[in-house]
Amino acid sequence: MLTCFIRYVVDPTKINEFKEYATYWIALIEQNGGTHHGYFLPGENHTSDFSFPTLGQEGPENIAIALFSFPNFEAYEGYKKRTTANKECQAMTKKFNDSKCFLSYERSFLKPFFN
- pLDDT digit string, tens, across residues 46-102: 677 888 888 888 888 899 999 999 999 999 999 999 999 989 888 888 988 899 999
Length of the chain: 115
Whether 114 is in a domain gets the answer: no
Q: Specify the CATH number for the domain of residue 86.
A: 3.30.70.100
Entry pTM: 0.86
Whether 99 is in a domain gets the answer: yes
Domain span at residue 104 reads 2-42+59-109
Q: How confident is the model at residue 26 (pLDDT cuts 50, 70, 90)?
A: very high
Specify the pLDDT at position 56.
84
Q: What are phi and psi of 52, to 5 degrees?
A: -125, 80
C-alpha distances in Å from residue 35, one per residue of 26, 51, 82, 83, 92: 8, 31, 16, 16, 20
Whether 53 is in a domain gets the answer: no
**Domain count of the chain?**
1
Specify the pLDDT at position 6.
97
Enter the DSSP assignment of 104: E
